[in-house]
Structure 1
Amino acid sequence: MEINSTHSHAHNRLSVGGLLIALGIIYGDIGTSPLYVMKAIILSGGNIINQDLVYGGVSCVFWTITLQTSVKYVLLTLQADNNGEGGIFSLYTLVRRRAKWLIIPAIIGGSALLADGVITPPISVSSAIEGLRIINPDIPTVPIVITIITLLFVAQSFGTQIVGKAFGPVMFIWFAMLAVLGMHSIFSHPEVLQAANPLYAYRLLAEYPGGFWLLGGVFLCTTGAEALYSDLGHCGRDNIRVSWLFVKLCLLLNYFGQAAWLMQHAGESVSDKVNPFYGLMPDWFLLTGIGIATLAAIIASQALITGSFTLIGEAIRLNLWPRVRLRYPTMVKGQLYVPSVNLLLWAGCVAVVLYFRESENMEAAYGLAITVTMLATTVLMVYYLKLRKVSKVLIGLFLAVYLTIEGSFLVANLIKFPHGGWVSVAICMALVTVMYIWLRAFFIKRRLTDEVPLDRYVDALKELSEDQSIPKYATHLIYMTGAERRNYIESKVIYSIFQKRPKRADIYWFLHVYTTDEPYTMEYKVHHIVPNDVIKVDFRLGFRVEQRINLYFRKVVENLVENKEVDITSRYESLSKQKAVGDFRFVVLEKYLSPENDLPWQENLVMRAHYNIKDLTASEDKWFGLDTSSVKVEKVPLIINPVKEIELKRVI
């Protein structure tokens, strides 16, 4: 049986509105790269403008965007959608049955992408705000950057649909401006278009002094590609692919336009001139251009923020992250907001701004982590292509091409490590540690969780229900159970009913929630263990469905009453005459690590870290969306491995 879903799929279909939302949500990072890519290449290449450096640099940018963003992500990776959802964890869900070890690249790649989300907003906003120094060299940028970032994170609570509609028109103007400025500059030096020949890129990397290490700057033009895939569920594949045609054209026109402008200043030092991006602007347009660039750079952080929410939601479903509260600001499919992650990202971004202060310093920390994510995606894509029965020759070609490209980018970015790259690596390792702890603790608990047949306790439950000497606890007593098998429940539930405090009730309900690999499944099954006395309900909910068990259970009860499968009338004699509905009470059992455990030191360390982190997250009743006025939370000891031998001597 299905529970009605209110999610809308309309925004995923190709439409003008969908294209506008895509522009506003996912292209900020890639779209604002012209602000700093060409300048970074020239500065890294000796700071003197020459044809080999300019033509080679823009050629590398052209082929990086084409091979990395267009071919790998837009054409290939977007096909690996899990019922419309994207991202590295969604991709892992599709292929995890192929090999258990694939969880390793999934964890590393997801952590690296989240770490990069802490660097993207500061560098994007700082790059734009620092453009105001052309007008006022003494303007204090740090307070302005922190204020803008704070407002951006506050806006997340309204949902990405609202943000996308607000930002979409701005980004359309931004990309149109990029194209117009680029074309105007190309007309003054049309020869620059020959740099599309990959020979120029090869000469730069193979023959130019230190040319290979320039890939660290080149890579900045494609850092937003992974977020593009993560935001698949927010915009839909068709909207992303069609809008990318427009975005790519505008970006390339601007990059070649900057190259044309640079060639008009050959032999000069780029530091003696303004940023080549602003060099394209006529004086009368400079103030307007800086304003539009500032707005676009503010929007640039949106792709990583929404992608981070998606990643965390999927990580929770994969038992890689604590059960933090998820919110759905709108009724539109894919609109997810994670308050705790929003707060953590904001704090991280503010810390990065205060530590680095200048965007030039942030570039050293930018891009290193995301190369790891791209390599992880490549590994998972190989298994996805195998799953789709793609030719082994084509799979081998895909693997060879992208391991070479991304491996080269990774090596080139390693020189950033001592100059700030260690910041993103440290954040990544911290996130990997949390995910490892949560996954390892899950398997430790599951390995030794004691489940018992419910049938064995049916008679005892009926006797307890009829025992007038025990005060009635509730008319309907509902337990959340993790036991997946139909007629099984955890022994801790039996302990709570019979030993913790005898709980007499008229009807005992046991609810189990199974999270499916599909994002929006909403189904349930009812098992009448003892008709009208002991009932188990199994919910099958998609990994993107909000946990609102209180609401779903009420819907199930209404359905059962309508079908005359259960009588919820109060069994108190005075209330029964009035046809009053009996009271419902949930019992949620929260485990704590018992001091009686005798675990190996590694597992003991993992479990203690697990419960320390859990103390900072939402309680079980809040996670399941239960009505707190009718919930009893009980602490039960988790004795994973009790001490087996106790030497205790009696003395007289």
Structure 2
Amino acid sequence: MSGAPDTTSHSSHRLGPLALGALGVVYGDIGTSPLYTIKTAIEWSGGAIAPEEALGMLSLIFWTLIVITSIKYVAVIMRADNDGEGGILALMSLLGIKRGRHPAIIAIGMLGAALLFGDGAITPAISVLSALEGLKTPAPAIAPYIVPLSVVVLIGLFSVQYRGTAEISRLFGPVMIIWFLAIGALGLAAVVQHPGVLAALNPAVGAAYLFEHGAAGFLILGAVFLCATGAEALYADMGHFGRQPIRLAWYGLVLPALVLNYAGQTALIVSEPPAASPNPFFDLCPAGLQLPLVALATLATVIASQSIITGAFSMTRQAIQLGLLPRIHVSQTSAESYGQIYVGFVNWALMALTLILTIVFRSSDSLAAAFGIAVSLTMLLTSFLMFVAMREVWNWSLPLSLLAAGLFVVVDGSFVAANMVKFFEGGWIPLVVASIIFFLMTCWSQGYVAMRAALERDTFPLADFIRKFRGKPRVQGCAVYLSGRHNVVPVPLLHNLKHNKVVHERVVILHVQTEQVPRIKAAQRVETQDLGDEFYSVTLRYGFMEQPNIPRALILESIGCPLRFNMMDTSFFVGRLSILPTSAFKWRRFKMGVFEFLHRNAVPATEFFQIPPGRVVELGSQVEI
């Protein structure tokens, strides 16, 4: 099977370019977190903190980066790949579908994906706001225009998505290198003047802060967690670059730059009264360079937002291919890069929610309360799945698995609890969005299973049908019937026979199958079985990261296939189903009603599979579920 790049396949001369690409795509979110993490922690602590409190916060931030990002994600969880692909949906597929559909694992994966969708609207808003808020330091008079400027930047960002980012994304890596070098240098300059802040690297300093401040110190964990909100992206984007380039970029540049910048901000707070440093990130910079730093920060946050948007597009396609969402129109925006896609519905929905959040909350400090809940919950769910991977994939012993996964569950659970305190201050927003998406996913997956079962009740074995029509007159041409199974007669074939009284001289039962791997090689795409009497069974196999194209597969990728297809002589027969919910249970009937709505508004199978409209015959029928 073809998968994503892996460390074993990279030569040394490819490792550098891939690490550069990872800097531009993977690290935008976590790389821009210094803009608001310490600033938010100061705000949540009341706006006035003593030097020892600043050191305690720095210690918590440092060890969060080490435990959550460096150990959990970069060192451990990236080992649990699904043929090179990462992310909670790929992990769910690896553990829950490949090894038999385990309902609990499927539910965890669906909920984690839904939470990431909910978080996807917050990241662009808080990132762009925090960057433009830097203008307040060199130009205080511009403060009333921060929100309008942010709205303009965000509208521009979402409006150009349909054109793709194949060209501009080549600049992402170099821009992020400049960003990390700049923030690292600013932090280093402050640390050199106050090297005593490095004492915060001792974990005892952070532990002492938590014990001495009790509940107040625990609540600060919600702000501290903001430093790791992009860690999930490291895992989700693994398939684009492979483990080794992502690890090289993290340990070689990103982690040192982040630690230096957080330490530098802390040094500034320790050396100056807190009131004199309302925005410690931008106050690190000399006055003459603050405007260029704001411009660089804005570019970095746009890149971070772009990565989140692209990730939402990719996750949508995965969910569709895994049968968790209805078919949505997906456009390929680049012939060279498969990951360059555009999903219009997701783009405009994210833009609407992002703009609402920006206008309502109006500052990065206010949005911070809504930011951490969704990501921390997703990380907690990933830790539960990681325990299953330790046992079933890596074959670790039970005590070792409980010790390792238990540590991460405790840490993640602490961050979830700390973030939940801000539930009524905005934290409810991503949870509501995630709940709606999770509910739609369950309605679709359950409804689709019920619809398939109902269709199978209305048909009979294909072998009996072939025997019945052996030797009888046929009409010219090739008829292709899309079907979910090979061993039963497709309902559209029965309806064609019932209404038109014909069977074509060549009949193809076509099944499009989504495998639990990211991609399938072209040579392995088409599988054909001769059923006799000019009846054929054809399976087209796609990975869950691929967009099916039936004509292309039948004409160009049917290597070794005994059939040769001429689109001008081929008709595709598909069913146009009307769903009628009939369950006696009100809640199930309601869910089936939601499924009926989603099914009615989904992209038609012919469009999703890219079948020429002029070669399609639709036959209607009604299905009770």
Verify the 8 A CA contact 1:591 1:636 in the aligned structure 2: yes
Separation in structure 2 between the aligned mates of residue 168 and residue 428 of structure 1, nearest angstrom? 31
Distance 1:9 1:189, change over 3 A: closer
Q: CA deviation at 1:566?
A: 5.3
Q: CA deviation at 1:255?
A: 0.5
Q: CA deviation at 1:459?
A: 4.5
Q: Deviations over 1:440-489 (max 9, x none)?
A: 112222333315221211255456643xxxxx5x6111111111x4x433
**Residues 166-315 of structure 1 aligned to structure 2 (within 5 Å):** 166-208=171-213, 210-245=216-251, 246-265=253-272, 268-270=273-275, 272-315=276-319
Q: Deviations over 1:283-322 (max 9, x none)?
A: 1211111111121122221332222223222212221111
Report the counterpart of residue 518 of structure 2 in structure 1: 519
2:372 pairs, out of 367, 374, 389, with: 367
The answer as to 2:14 corresponding to 1:28 is no
Give the match's secondary structure for 1:519. Answer: coil
Aligned residues: 607
Verify the 8 A CA contact 1:155 1:163 in the aligned structure 2: no
Distance 1:598 1:453, change over 3 A: same
Verify the 8 A CA contact 1:9 1:333 in the aligned structure 2: no
**Residues 381-396 of structure 1 aligned to structure 2 (within 5 Å):** 381-387=386-392, 388-396=394-402
Report the counterpart of residue 589 of structure 1 in structure 2: 575
Q: CA deviation at 1:353?
A: 1.5
Q: CA deviation at 1:371?
A: 1.0
Separation in structure 1 between the aligned mates of residue 233 and residue 170 of structure 2, nearest angstrom? 19
AA at the equivalent of 1:629: G
Give the match's secondary structure for 1:478. Answer: strand
Q: CA deviation at 1:26?
A: 1.3
Report the counterpart of residue 601 of structure 2 in structure 1: 616
Separation in structure 1 between the aligned mates of residue 171 and residue 333 of structure 2, nearest angstrom? 16
**Residues 594-609 of structure 1 aligned to structure 2 (within 5 Å):** 594=580, 597=582, 599-609=584-594
Structure 2: runs of 5+ lacking an equivalent: none
* 45-54 or 421-430: bigger deviation: 45-54
Structure 1: runs of 5+ lacking an equivalent: 467-471, 570-580, 641-652
Verify the 8 A CA contact 2:576 2:618 in the aligned structure 1: yes
Greater Rg, structure 1 or structure 2? Answer: 1
AA at the equivalent of 2:48: I
Verify the 8 A CA contact 1:230 1:310 in the aligned structure 2: no
Give the match's secondary structure for 1:528. Answer: strand
Verify the 8 A CA contact 2:526 2:554 in the aligned structure 1: no
AA at the equivalent of 1:548: N
Verify the 8 A CA contact 1:81 1:91 in the aligned structure 2: yes
Distance 1:582 1:166, change over 3 A: closer
Distance 1:317 1:549, change over 3 A: same
Q: CA deviation at 1:231?
A: 1.1
AA at the equivalent of 2:85: E
AA at the equivalent of 2:296: I
AA at the equivalent of 2:220: L
Report the counterpart of residue 57 of structure 1 in structure 2: 57
Distance 1:329 1:10, change over 3 A: farther
TM-score (norm 2): 0.92
Verify the 8 A CA contact 1:160 1:306 in the aligned structure 2: no
The answer as to 2:483 corresponding to 1:496 is no
Q: CA deviation at 1:556?
A: 6.2
AA at the equivalent of 1:193: L
AA at the equivalent of 1:529: L
Report the counterpart of residue 578 of structure 1 in structure 2: none
Separation in structure 2 between the aligned mates of residue 518 and residue 155 of structure 1, nearest angstrom? 31
Verify the 8 A CA contact 1:475 1:582 in the aligned structure 2: no
Q: CA deviation at 1:132?
A: 1.5
Distance 1:410 1:112, change over 3 A: same
Q: CA deviation at 1:173?
A: 0.4
1:452 pairs, out of 436, 460, 483, with: 460
Distance 1:465 1:115, change over 3 A: farther
The answer as to 2:552 corresponding to 1:546 is no
AA at the equivalent of 1:518: V
Distance 1:568 1:147, change over 3 A: closer
Report the counterpart of residue 529 of structure 1 in structure 2: 531
Give the match's secondary structure for 1:489. Answer: coil
Separation in structure 2 between the aligned mates of residue 568 and residue 335 of structure 1, nearest angstrom? 30
Give the match's secondary structure for 1:449. Answer: helix
Q: Deviations over 1:492-513 (max 9, x none)?
A: 1342221133344221111111
Give the match's secondary structure for 1:255. Answer: helix
Q: CA deviation at 1:206?
A: 1.1
Distance 1:582 1:223, change over 3 A: closer
Distance 1:465 1:507, change over 3 A: farther
* 148-157 or 303-312: bigger deviation: 148-157
Q: Deviations over 1:505-527 (max 9, x none)?
A: 22111111111111112422211
Q: CA deviation at 1:233?
A: 1.6
Report the counterpart of residue 379 of structure 1 in structure 2: 384
Q: CA deviation at 1:158?
A: 4.8
Separation in structure 2 between the aligned mates of residue 452 and residue 342 of structure 1, nearest angstrom? 43
TM-score (norm 1): 0.88
Report the counterpart of residue 628 of structure 1 in structure 2: 613
Separation in structure 2 between the aligned mates of residue 364 and residue 229 of structure 1, nearest angstrom? 24
Separation in structure 1 between the aligned mates of residue 354 and residue 434 of structure 2, nearest angstrom? 14
Q: CA deviation at 1:10?
A: 10
% of aligned pairs identical? 33
Separation in structure 1 between the aligned mates of residue 601 and residue 155 of structure 2, nearest angstrom? 23
* 187-196 or 446-455: bigger deviation: 446-455
1:478 pairs, out of 474, 477, 480, with: 480
Report the counterpart of residue 129 of structure 1 in structure 2: 132
Separation in structure 2 between the aligned mates of residue 465 and residue 18 of structure 1, nearest angstrom? 60
Q: CA RMSD in A?
A: 2.4
Q: CA deviation at 1:153?
A: 2.6
Separation in structure 2 between the aligned mates of residue 585 and residue 368 of structure 1, nearest angstrom? 51
Report the counterpart of residue 104 of structure 1 in structure 2: 107
* 537-546 or 366-375: bigger deviation: 537-546
Separation in structure 2 between the aligned mates of residue 611 and residue 114 of structure 1, nearest angstrom? 23
